[in-house]
């Protein structure tokens, strides 16, 4: 009797499928470190509030207290959960099977929120920026000032 080593990844497609799935799972779990978010926010310090509004859009609300002015951007998104459909096949010997699965409940969605509070002087200079909420969402909402400057330089716009 011939002895063979049977491996789970006996075929190349199974190997590729497994590692593709593993990469998908690992990249779906990525997050952005808080320091990277703080760096993106703090790059806007020292800029005029009007310039900031030009790139961030109008704030949700503005207030003034103790000689300081505040502008706040409140953003929220809600993503509904998706139903799930899966189809699978299997075979052993001369037998083949097909399975179909359907989830009948809400898998839950993502609720992302971001509050960005900007403090600025009466003359309009941004002095402080704080944030709270979903880190990745806040990061994606806040434009990268270095990219904006690079794009302006490439187009010959001086600021």
How do residues 71-115 score in pLDDT, each as one tens digit? 999 999 876 655 556 666 665 667 666 666 655 555 555 689 999
Whether 3 maps to a domain, the answer reads no
Any domain includes 99: no
Give the C-alpha distances (Å, rounded to integers) separating 16 from 9, 63, 85, 99, 140: 9, 56, 22, 22, 31
Q: What pLDDT shows up at residue 41?
A: 97
**Reported pTM:** 0.63
Tell me whether residue 92 is in a domain: no
**Is residue 150, in this structure, part of any structural domain at all?**
yes
pLDDT of residue 146: 93
pLDDT in tens, the chain (159 residues): 555 555 555 555 655 555 554 444 444 446 899 999 999 999 999 999 999 999 999 999 999 999 899 999 999 987 665 555 666 666 566 766 666 665 555 555 568 999 999 999 999 999 999 999 999 999 999 999 999 999 888 888 765
Q: Is residue 57 part of a domain?
A: yes
Q: How far apart are CA 83 and CA 89, in angstroms?
A: 20
The domain that holds 56 is classified in CATH as 3.30.1450
Token pair for residue 132? Answer: 């709270």
101 lies in a domain?
no
pLDDT of residue 27: 45
CA angle 87/16/92 to nearest 5° reads 50
- Residue 69 belongs to domain spanning: 34-80+113-154
User: Quick one: pLDDT at residue 22?
Assistant: 44
Residue 70 lies in a domain: yes
The pLDDT of residue 31 is: 85
Number of domains in the chain: 1
Distance CA 67, CA 59 (A): 19
26 is a domain residue:
no
How much is the pLDDT for 25? 46
């Amino acid at each position: 009797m011939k002895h063979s080593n049977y491996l789970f990844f006996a075929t190349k497609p199974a190997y590729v499928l497994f590692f593709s799935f593993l990469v998908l799972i690992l990249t779906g779990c990525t997050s952005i470190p808080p320091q990277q978010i703080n760096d993106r926010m703090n790059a806007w310090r020292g800029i005029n509030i009007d310039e900031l509004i030009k790139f961030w859009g109008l704030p949700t609300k503005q207030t003034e207290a103790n000689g300081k002015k505040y502008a706040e951007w409140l953003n929220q998104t809600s993503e509904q959960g998706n139903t799930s459909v899966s189809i699978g096949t299997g075979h052993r010997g001369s037998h083949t099977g097909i399975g179909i699965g359907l989830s009948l409940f809400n898998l839950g969605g993502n609720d992302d929120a971001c509050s960005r509070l900007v403090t600025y002087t009466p003359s309009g200079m941004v002095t402080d920026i704080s944030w709270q909420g979903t880190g990745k969402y806040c990061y994606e909402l806040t434009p990268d000032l270095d990219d904006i400057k690079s794009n302006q330089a490439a187009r010959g716009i001086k600021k």
